[in-house]
Structure 1
Amino acid sequence: MTTADRRSLGAFVVASVLFGGTFVAVKAGLAYFPPLLFVALRFDIAAVALLVYAAATTPRGQLLPRTPRDLAGVLATGVLAIGVTNALLFVGQGYTTSAVAAIVFSLNPILTPVFAALVLADERLSRRGLVGMALGFVGVALVVNPDPATLFDLGIGKAILLAGAVTGALGSVLIRWAGGSLSSTVRTAWGLPFAALLCHYLSWTAGESARAITWNAEAIAALAYVGLLAGAVAYVAYFGLIDTAGAIRANLVFYAVPVVTALGGWALLGEVVSQLAVGGFVTIFVGFAVLGSESIDVRAALCRLRDRAVDSADAIDVDDPCLDVESD
């Protein structure tokens, strides 16, 4: 495994773990905050933290957007991938459970290849990739195991969450399309103020008021988590992953999120992990393995394994399909 591969894996783990607690923290915080004001305050905190971090760790000449593509990447990050997506997530989750929200948002990796096929020339899914993507989604469904009657009863909450999954997928693809010279950290740091301003405006137009906030320890903990950990830190990891691994593979984070949530509930809260959920873990792992095998010539590998098991003195079958592999 190369250094770049290790960094991508590390970013995937960090984003998965921190995003894994988001649905629980959002559900807890909505008891104390109006939804759009909650997400706006989240981005206020994340923007300040990440702008300070970017200023301290980035050379001055690399801090400002300089090209139209830089600006396009900042807007795609702040307005779509972060701002609108999270506004829809926070509002939509007020109408449904964390489990249903997690599975609806897990449509994000399925939607991403659709937009990538329209916008990106270098990101396409093969048939093997589609199989891996489908297995991952089935695994998420097994882990979350929502009530089918509730899941398939399309209501306003799930419609809003689905719209959030669409904007998140589109935003990640447009970030990849924009490219630009900014690092993912700087691009995200500039995008967060746009997300905060957008959500404050939406909160104001919705008639929300800061007087409706109930301040207590749980409210502060929920806001700190979504602002600093699932905000600034997780966004650096996730948007960096888009740059290095591509939008399609980066959004597989949303398949790992329900696994992290379930394991965290088991480890920290004593929640029971069902046999169905364990089967879901395995299914998601198989889906990831299938996706990861796209760079491997499976037919050639099987032929090499067979050749090791067959005695070299055996007669050669002229109809052997492995002869075609060897001659390629």
Structure 2
Amino acid sequence: MSTRQLAIAFVTLGTLWGSSFVAIDLGLPYFPPLEFAGLRFLIAGVVILAYAWLTTPRWRPRGRREWTLAGVAGAFLIGGHHSFLYLGQQYLSGAVAAIVVSLGPVLTALFAVAILDAHLSALDGLGFAFGLFGVLLVAQPGIAEESSLPLAERIAALDPGALLAGDMTGIVLVFFAAASFALGGVLTRTIETTLPMRTVQAWAMLIGAALLMLTGGLRGESLAAIRWTPTAGISLLYLGLVSGAGAFLIYFTLLDRLGPAQVNLIGYLEPAAATVLSWLVLGQLIDTLTALGFAAIIAGFVCIQRRSLVNLFVRQSSPTSD
């Protein structure tokens, strides 16, 4: 692939994953949330498993270590992450949820310190502070929803203590979604195998789908409660086939060509795509304070991932980078 084709694939993937937040918004009125998520990844997992069977020499895990990897990925990256995300999006718009989820790389660095004994510098600490401040700006505790205060006064009126007293259900749930994904990403680093990434992802989706549907059943959710309408069917198929299986096929290509450090930058294209699509499809807009929160989270990411970003830009500026 040429540099232009890689750039197009990168933007396409970010747009597809950003659009998933909007598709979830569209589908949630018709589905119990966890059964909705479970069905999505059942569809995507079957497609990716078929792809792994056709394109890799190893289409299923073997041995305890490989099944542990698939299980951890399924439990945290798929099951835990999407259970909290789908529950949280009952209270938040997809655009706001995407911004909170973008805190994931910052939380990943924090878990790496705790689990992998990574070094924490002063600039890393500043990055964490930026990330948490960004979430505070998105949550806007202590500020009435209908408040028309000027921007500076809205920031001054933020009350961190109100995070516990107010109705922050959606923000807290989506924060846990980001934390689950970050924790899963760190835990999977500790399990080294030769299992192809496509196979790992396929089984993670299927295990995650089973866990989501089981948890939904324990919550009293039922597939019988689904209201099948054209919107419900389109949102499910879109999430399962387009922003699920289709997007992951693009992801595998980019992962092979660019590596995980560069591909992870897609996480910061997703909220922008989700915001634009939420406006176009649902008429939803984020306010200025929420946009500033996203900027603060990006600043936190830059502080923590500064070395990887410098190496990335140096490599891209090299005459042999293509």
Counterpart of 2:210 in structure 1 is: 197
Aligned length: 291
Residue in 2 aligned with 1:88? 84
- The 5-angstrom pairing of residues 62-101 of structure 1 reads 62-101=58-97
> What corresponds to 1:223 in structure 2?
236
Amino acid at match of 2:45: A
TM-score (norm: length of structure 2): 0.71
* Cα distance in structure 1, aligned partners of 2:222 and 2:291: 43
Q: Which has the higher contact order (CA 8 A, sep 6+)?
A: 2
Q: Which amino acid aligns with 1:213?
A: I
Contact 1:108 1:251 in 2 (8 A): no
Q: How high is the sequence identity, in percent, across the aligned residues?
A: 37
- Aligned pairs (5 A) from 1:160-199: 160-199=173-212
Q: 1:127 to 1:206 in 2, by over 3 A?
A: same
Conserved in 2, the CA contact under 8 Å of 1:106 and 1:140? no
Q: CA RMSD in A?
A: 4.1
Unaligned runs of 5+ residues in structure 1 are: 299-328
Would you say 1:112 and 2:128 are equivalent positions? no
* Aligned with residue 54 of structure 2, among 53, 56, 71: 56
Q: What is the SS of the residue equivalent to 1:21? A: helix
> Following the alignment from structure 2 to structure 1, what is the Cα–Cα distance between the partners of residues 4 and 185?
22
Task: Give the corresponding residue for 2:149.
Answer: none
Change (3 A) 1:102 1:45: same
Match of 1:40 among 15, 38, 41: 38
Residues 237, 173 of structure 1: alpha-carbon distance in 2 compared, 3 angstrom cutoff: farther
Relative to structure 1, the CA distance from residue 92 to residue 217 in structure 2 (aligned partners, 3 Å threshold; closer, same or farther) is: same
SS of the residue 2:190 aligns to: helix
- 1:182 deviation in Å? 1.2
Aligned residue for 2:72, secondary structure, equals helix
Scaled by the length of structure 1, the TM-score of the pair is: 0.70
Larger Rg: 1
Paired amino acid for 1:183: P
Which whole-Å deviations, capped at 9, do the CAs of 1:146-186 have from their partners, x for residues lacking one? Answer: 78546943533333222222111111111222131112111
Give the direction of change, closer, same or farther, for the CA distance of 1:218–1:268 in structure 2 (3 Å limit). closer
Q: Please state how far the C-alpha of 1:280 moved relative to its aligned partner.
A: 7.8
Show structure 2 runs of 5+ residues with no match. 146-161, 315-322
Q: CA deviation at 1:103?
A: 3.2
State whether structure 2 residue 99 is matched by structure 1 residue 103: yes
* Aligned counterpart, 2:319: none
